[in-house]
Structure formats: structure tokens, C-alpha cells
Amino acid sequence: MSKVEEATAVTAVTTRRNFLRSVVGMASVAAVATPLARKTATPASGSRNTIQSTPAQQVTAVDGPQDPLERMRADLARALQKPEAERRWVMVIDLRKCVGCTACTISCVAENHLPPGVVYRPVLEEEIGTFPNVAKRFLPRPCMQCDNPPCVDVCPVGATWKRSDGIIEIDYDQCIGCRYCITACPYNARTFDRGFVYNDESYVDNSVTFVGVADAEAYEMAAPYEYGEERPRKDGRSPIGNARKCHFCLHRLEKGMLPACTTTCIGRATYFGDASDPDSLVADLIASPNVMRLKEALGTEPKVYYLQ
Amino acid sequence: MNNNNSWKRILWLLSGVGFLIGLYGLYARLTLGHTDANYGSYIPWGLWVAGYVYLIGLSAGAFLLSTLVYVFRVKILEPIGRLALFTAVTTLVGAMVLIFLDLGHPERAWRLALHTNFRSIMGWMIWLYTGYFILLLVELWFASRVDLVACAGNPGFSGRLCRFLSFGSQDVSPERAAKDRHTLRILGTIGVPLAIAFHGGVGALFGVIGAREYWHSGLSPIFFLVGALLSGGALLTFVTAIWGPDVKSEKGQKLVLLLGQITLGLLAFDVLLEWAEYSIGLWNAVPGKTNGLLLTLKGPYWWVFWFVHLGLGVIVPGLLLALRGRSISAITTAGALIAVTFLSVRLNFVIPALAEPELEGLRTAFTGPGLTFSYFPSVSEWMLFIWAISVAALIFLAGTQLLPLTPKEA
């Protein structure tokens, strides 16, 4: 059974369950199930057996109406069947759900083997009030993948551009490392890879014995798969000396996987998908009245939306 | 003349020492890449970019003043035409060395020419600089041709160099000299818009960045041009007093006095523009837009603005030029002060714009080298900067010894 079929099967079961719940008066659950009801058009017979045979999916089915990850994976699989130019990748971050754990930041570092000084998705913290009456607000900040990206036109050698699916890409082999694009980004979303490594002497505290240092070093030096290219980190070769930024884990998307930050978000606060698909979860979410984007007045038209 | 000779000895010494200790900066850059520098992800441009803007400004300013000789034919300035052109060449070389080594991948600099994105102002730069550099060399050759032919007969290295640089030209007839002057006028006339384009372009390179309120002003290109004229004019005043016609002669004295007056006028105009920038930026302004300016005036490096720029770069030389405008030594000192301290203006333009986070929480969101909004150049950054300046100075000093940069009677 293909991924799409599996996801549809999950949807079918959980939707039936929600229907029963709504019958007994659980109005709130019914509200969540409403957008999912669209997917019941293709119920797969024997789907219950499929779920029971895979423990991981069983957990998600029990957990709630439907894990948004499952729906997003189905959305992603559908989007990948369309031509690139017809996809419109967007990210939605629900600030009410973000607990500031920074799992997304770290998973991004791990996924892309980011060195010290390079970060694609920091989580900004804002403290409101004075002690002891303090509240905290968190704001994860990936690259906004602007529809009108100020970083693209300034590149003197055309090493960065907007793809037809809206993701802003950097060609590490063309980039000369002038950092003009870094200055042009209104969100500080681009960083400069100066060639540091975490396992360098200056970072490792020799007075403490760490378990697994050798493995960590091997992992750090192993090539990440950004833009689907293998680039071992050595001899000052690119991406050392380049501008770097979040690319919505393009290399994962192309393999049918959600961005690392989305799958690792413990609060399910990060959503990802193809906004040009009216049946996608993100298409529903960006139609919410409580949606906002950063620095809207600049006209950069970010493709990262926040719910608040 | 003794005074001049001691200045020359000091400058040779300073440049030589600067070149030697600066080699450490070059070594660090070549072996450690960018890891030994203090700029990074949030402040991606540092001393080297500011130093490049500074040197390129000196070059553009010196060149534009040379056009007074070759385009507008201001007779009194004629003896320093070639000095001005040579100053422009050497400072341009220093600027190119700095910005080349500032690149993350200098080995790909050729892409600037072969893969130019003309929608980027930086894309235009490579072509404007190349055109400007060629124009400077050709103009300098035409301006020196007759004297190169003359000194080709000299014994020693200087004579051999003159013979080589005259490229076989031997015609020193008045007709040919008049033809040269005509050619120079055409070249200078092409050079004026070129110099305005490339240095105004550097200002525009910053000015178009809408993300940085501090840079994003229509005044940026104008500010850069006036700054170039002022710093280049001040440097040329100093250079003229040391290497120009004898300041004890009436002609030499008049020349330095005139340059002093030009510098004072340019200083006043530059201060006016600066006042416009700061007063409009700060008066009744929205706080988010004033941060960069306030950082310059009250930030951790407030003294760069108040002491280095305003004190040593404006007030002291301004008073020297206004009150002791007939003293050659006062004018020389004022010229040197403005020319040297103008680096602070360039630093105060480049850095504060980047030292303000685009989103406030970024200061503490994720830490690491370069993920900081404070910046002071590292030792190796200073060393490489000193090295580039010294290279430019040594080429200049060697040129004054070996090439006919001033008319023989001077």
C-alpha cells in the first residue's frame, strides 16, 4: 500500500470514530473532524487491519482525531504528484502551541549538519511582564521563503533564486561569499558559514568526558544532503564560505518527507504543506482569521504564517 | 624640504612596518579562512568592507579632483594632476585587495564578471571598477608620457622603468603634447560620470537595502560622493604638501592654500549632509528607525563618532583650516587628520546598520560564533587591513621615487 493510501486509511478510521463521538455530543471534536470529512470519499476496505498491523500508526490513531503529521504527509504525497510550478509550499506555526522547546532548531541543526555560527530556525523568546508576573512567548523563525525576496536580486552573481514552487534556493558552487544577501534579509534569516566545527578544540571541554564524541564528530563531518547534494565538510569547500539558510528541507520534501522541524515539533505547532491544494491542512489554517506574517508592511509576502 | 624628507622617512618606515606586521593578517586569512575574524552571521560585514569603502572613496575623491586639471583645466592645479591620478590608482589597489580577501570564496571572484546579475548594484561594480582602473592607467600614461620619454635616458632602475613604461614612444613635440592634452580631456570627461557612477554606486549598494533603515536613504549615494571628495581632497592636500611643488615657492604655497580651502569647503558640505541625516533621522522619529543612529551616538563605540570623527576629523581640522588657513603645516596636518579619520565615518556607516537585530529576540535565541550583534575587529582583521593600506602606501612611495609624478621644475 502506498503512503497516500495508508494515510487515507488512517483518515477513514479516525473520521468514523469522530463521527461517533460527535453523535454523542462532543461538539468540539466534531469541529476538528469537519475538515477531515472531505477525505472520506475514498474509504479503503480493510483499513482497520492495516492500522492494527502497524503499532506506530495505532498510537497516532488513539491519540486524537488524527495526528496532523499524518494528514500533512498525505498532503505532501499529493503535492508531489503535481508539477513543481503548481506547488506552493507554506509553513504555518501556531504560536499558541509552541512551548519553546527548540526541538525544531536542534533537529534542523542535526538534519543539515549545521556548524557553529549557522542557524536556520532559531526560536525567539519574548518575556512579558516583571517577576513574578511573567509570561513567555516563543516565535520560531525559519526562512520566510518570501514571494518578493529582497535577498535574491542583490546577489551579484545570481547564485540565489526563487524556485517555481516558491522556495528560495542557494547554489553553493556559484556563491562567492560576499554576504550582500545576508544584509538584505529583513528577518536575519541568512547566516554565514565561516568554517567552524563543534568538535573543534575550542568547543570541546576537555575537563569533562563526553560519551560518543567520536560518533558525534563522524556525524558532524559526514555530508548533509542539502539541495540533494553530498557536500563533505572539509578543506574550506562549500558550503564553508557561503551564505546559508533554511530551505524547508527541500531534500526531504523531494523524498516525500516533511521538513525536520515539522516532524520533531513536540507540540504539533508547525505545519507544512502545499497551500495551492484546497484540501491541504495548511490551506485550511492560513484561512484562519488569527493568521499573521512577520513584517507584513514590507511587502515581502512571506510564505511562513503564524497563528496567534 | 627637510621637513618633507622627515615626513617621507616616517611614511616609509610606517608602511614598511605595517607591511611586515600585516603579513600576519594575510597569513591568518589564508590559513584560517574566516574563523579568526569577528564578523559573522548577524554582522556579516566588518572592518574589511568599511576599509574597502574608505579606500575606494579616497580613490574616487582623488580622481575627481584630477579632473579639475584634465577636464576643467584649472591651471594652478596642473602640477599635481599626476599625483592625484597615482593616488587614485594606489588606493584603488588597496581597496581591491581588501574586498577580494573579504569574500568567502575569492577564487570565484571571476564569476562577478562572467555571471553578472545586473539587477544587483554589486553586479555593476566589477565592470565599473575594471573600466575605472583601465581609464586611470591610460590617463596616467598620457599625462606622464612626455616625462617618461625624458627620464628614459636616466641611468639606473628608474631609467629602465621609464623606458619600459614609455612603450617605445619618443615623440615629445609640442603638437604631440597638445594631442595628449586633448586625449586627457576626453578620458577625464569619460572618467567623471564613471567615478560618480562607481562611488555613488557604492552608496547606492547600501542605500537600496530596504531591510536596513540606517542605510536606506536616497542621500546615501550623495553622502558617499561628498565623503569621497572630502577624504580624497584631504589626502591630496597632504600628498601635495609632501610630494608636490616646493611649498617654499610661491606656486607651491598657493597650490596648498587652494587645496586647503577646497578641503574646508568640502568639510562644511559634508557636515551639512551629516546634519541632515542625523537630524531628520532622530527628530520626532519612530524609535525603530532611530536605533542605528543612536547606536552611533550612544552605543558602546560612541567615542568613534565623538572623538575620532567629530573631534579629530571635523573640529580640529576645521579649526586649523579656518583659523590657520595660511599655514602650510596647519593645512598639511588638517589634510592628514581628515584623510585618516575618515575611516571612522565608513565604519560608522557600515557597522551600526547591522548591529541592530531585525527581530529583537534574535540576540539570545541561538548563540555561536558570529551570532552576535556586537562587533569589534579581531587582531587578524586589523593586521590584514594594515597590510592592505601598507601595500597601497608602498606602491605610492615607490612611485614617487621612480616615476615622473611631478613636473620636473617642481
Q: A112, A124, A136: which to substitute to probe chain B, counting the most B Cβ within 10 Å?
A: A124
DSSP string, B271-288: HHHHHHHHHHHHTT--HH
Domain membership of residue B93 as a residue range: 2-119+224-402
Residue B70 exposure: Cα atoms within 13 Å on the Cβ side: 33
Beta carbons of B100 and B388 less than 8 angstroms apart: no
- For residues A65 and A32, the answer to whether their CB atoms sit within 8 Å is yes
Within a domain: B211: no
- Structure confidence by residue, pLDDT tens digits, B225-239: 999 999 999 999 999
DSSP-derived pairing of the beta strands A89-94 and A270-274:
antiparallel
Between these two residues, B327 and A49, which has the higher pLDDT value? B327
Distances (CA, A) of B376 to B199, B300, B355: 26, 10, 11
Alpha-carbon distance values, B226 to A304, B61, B273, B357 (Å)? 42, 8, 9, 29
Strands in A171-253 per DSSP E: 191-192, 243-244
As beta bridge partners, residue A191 has A244
Preceding peptide of A132 cis, ω within 30°: yes
**Measured between CB atoms, which of A117, A174, A236 is closest to B371?**
A117
Q: Assign residue A256 a region (left: φ > 0; alpha: ψ between -120 and 50; beta: otherwise).
A: left
Residue of B nearest to A101 (CA): B365
Residue B362 lies inside a defined structural domain of this protein: yes
Report yes or no: A179 at the B interface, CB cutoff 8 Å. yes
What is the helix (H) or strand (E) element at residue B71, kind and residue range?
A: none
Using CA atoms, how far apart are residues A282 and B7, in angstroms rounded to an integer? 71
Q: Across residues A213-238, what is the average pLDDT? A: 87
**Per-residue pLDDT averaged across A249-274, rounded?**
96
Do A137 and A159 touch, CB atoms closer than 8 A? Answer: no
A-B CB pairs within 8 A amount to 161
pLDDT at B220: 93
Check whether the bond before A239 is cis (ω within 30° of 0).
Answer: yes
Residues B371, A119: C-beta atoms closer than 8 Å: yes
pLDDT, tens digit, 9 for 90 and up, residues B5-17 = 888 999 999 999 9
Contact A156 B112 (CB under 8 A): yes
Considering the domain boundaries, does residue A214 fall inside one? no
The percent of residues in chain A predicted with pLDDT above 90, rounded, is 64
Q: Is residue A284 part of a domain?
A: no
pLDDT score at A203: 65
* pLDDT of res. B245: 86
**Average pLDDT in the B140-164 region?**
84
CB contact under 8 A, A154 and B40: no
DSSP of A83-106: -GGG--EEEEEETTT-----HHHH
Residue B50 domain flag: yes
- Is residue A148 predicted with pLDDT exceeding 50? yes
| Percent share of chain A, pLDDT over 70 | 77
- Cα distance from B358 to chain A (closest Cα, Å)? 6
Side-chain-side CA neighbours of residue B73 (13 Å): 6
Least confident of A35-44, B122-131, B314-323: A35-44
| DSSP code string of B76-118 | GGGGGHHHHHHHHHHHHHHHHHHHHHHSS-GGGTTHHHHT--T
Q: What is the mean pLDDT of residues B165-175?
A: 81
Domain that holds residue A12: 1-66
| pLDDT exceeds cutoff 70 at A80 | yes
Query: What is the pLDDT at residue B161?
Result: 85
* Across A5-9, B66-70, B256-260, least confident range: A5-9
Is A139 within a domain? no
3-class SS at A134? Answer: coil
Decide: helix, strand or coil at residue B60.
Answer: helix
Look at residue B90 and tell me if it is in a domain: yes
Q: What is the pLDDT of residue B349?
A: 94
Cα–chain center distance at B393: 12
In this structure, is residue A17 part of a structural domain? yes
Residue type, B326: R
Which whole number is the average pLDDT over B92-96? 96
Measured CA to CA, the distance from residue B247 to residue B179 in angstroms comes to 31
Mean pLDDT of B146-152: 83
- Whether residue A224 lies inside any domain: the answer is no
DSSP H or E run through A274: strand A270-274
- Cβ neighbours of A298 in B, within 8 Å: 210-211
Q: Give chain A's domain count.
A: 1
Any domain includes B23: yes
Looking at the domain assignment, is residue A278 inside a domain? no
Contact between residue B395 and residue B90 where contact means Cβ atoms under 8 Å apart: yes
Q: What is the pLDDT of residue A200?
A: 76
- Counting the structural domains of chain B, the total is 1
Report the Cα–Cα distance between both ends of chain B, in Å, rounded: 12
| Strands in B136-229 per DSSP E | none
Average pLDDT, stretch A19-37?
37
Helix axes of B379-402 and B156-165: crossing angle, nearest 10 degrees: 90
**Which of A153, A155, A187 has its CB closest to that of B359?**
A187
Residue A235 lies in a domain: no
Contact B111 A139 (CB under 8 A): no
Q: Tell me, what's the pLDDT at A202?
A: 67
Judge: A180–B122 Cβ closer than 8 Å, yes or no: yes
User: Which stretch of A53-57, B135-139, B142-146, B178-182 has the lowest confidence by average pLDDT?
Assistant: A53-57
Of the listed ranges A43-57, B68-82, B281-295, B361-375, the one predicted with least confidence = A43-57
Does A110 lie at the interface with B, CB-CB under 8 angstroms?
Answer: no
CB contacts of B369 in chain A (<8 Å) are: 116-117, 194, 196
Do the domain assignments include residue A60?
A: yes
Exposure b/e, B157-182, CB count within 10 A at least 16 = b: eeeebbbebbeeeeeeeeeeeeebee
